[in-house]
Structure formats: C-alpha cells, structure tokens
C-alpha cells in the first residue's frame, strides 16, 4: 500500500493546473486532481477494530480469532489495511495465559499479521496472581494494559469499531 502525503497532492494539483492551462481546460485538470485525491484517500484509509474477550471459553476464544482472521482477510483482499486488537479481561484473560487452549493459534496469527495485537488486562492478571498465590504468566504475544475495559474505551475514542463475539 502506498501512502501519499498531503504535500504530494498539492504538487499534483499544481502540475495538473499548469498542464490544464497549457494543454486543455482547467476543469479537466481539476477533474484529474479529484480522481487522484479520491484514490489517495481510499488507499490511505486504515480500518480499526477492537475485539473483546471476557469469557474463559475456548469457543469464544476461537470465535474471536476467527473474527480477526476474517476481518484481516477481507481487507487484505481489497488491498486495504486493518489494525486489529484483541482485548482480554476478567475470565477472558485465560486466552492469553501461558497454558491457553489457543496459544499455538495466537502465535501463528501474530507471525502472519503484524497488525494484530493482544492486550491483557493488568488488573485481572494481578487479581488472578493473588488468588492463585503465584505469578500468572502470559503468552509472549500479550501486551499488558493497566485495565482491559479502559483499553477498550481508549480504542473506541481512537475510532476503533467494537466487536464482542
């Protein structure tokens, strides 16, 4: 995907305007500039989605991963970029624990898609560690965030779509 900076659009507009003045009408030149601008706007759009997992059920975990894969495949086929963050908290943190039933799939998907991230709720990790009397270890792909629900709020503020499988 090629990203064109706004300055490049100005340059295209100036060149098109000059060419229009020399070789044709200015309406034709501006029509060309609009076409380039529309293509650039489409090419630079980045889709964003947050997927919540708050249940310790393998089926829910698999569904969240299926959603992420399907979303990624859809936009990849269209030549568009998508950022996907799976946010776990409460019982859903089990998805990102070192003994997770989906840890192998998480590892493979992370390697295949650098725009897929996994957020683990720090509050939940701390509470689970206290309850179990030992540290709760997470898969290497997990990034700890202070609060899973706050992370979801932050992502929504940043324009992320919100999915709950």
pLDDT, one tens digit per residue, over 135-160 is 999 999 999 999 999 999 999 999 99
pLDDT digits (tens, 9 = 90+) for 13-53: 444 444 445 445 667 766 776 666 666 555 568 999 999 99
Find the mean pLDDT for residues 117-134: 98
Determine contact, residues 42/75, Cβ cutoff 8 Å.
no
pLDDT at 94: 98
DSSP run (H or E) holding 73: helix 58-77
């Amino acid at each position: 995907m090629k990203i064109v900076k706004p300055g490049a659009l100005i340059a295209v507009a100036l060149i098109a305007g000059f060419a229009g003045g020399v070789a044709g009408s200015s309406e034709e030149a501006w029509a060309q500039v609009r076409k380039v601008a529309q293509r650039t706007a489409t090419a630079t759009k980045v889709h964003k989605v947050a997927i919540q997992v708050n249940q310790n059920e393998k089926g829910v975990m698999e569904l969240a991963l299926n959603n992420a894969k399907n979303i990624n495949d859809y936009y990849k086929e269209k030549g568009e970029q998508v950022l996907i963050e799976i946010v776990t908290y409460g019982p859903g943190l089990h998805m990102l624990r070192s003994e997770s039933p989906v840890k192998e799939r998480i590892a493979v998907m992370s390697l295949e898609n650098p725009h897929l991230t996994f957020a683990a709720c720090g509050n939940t990790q701390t509470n689970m560690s206290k309850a179990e009397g030992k540290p709760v270890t997470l898969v290497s792909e997990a990034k700890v965030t202070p609060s899973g629900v706050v992370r979801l709020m932050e992502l929504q503020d940043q324009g992320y779509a919100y999915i709950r499988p």
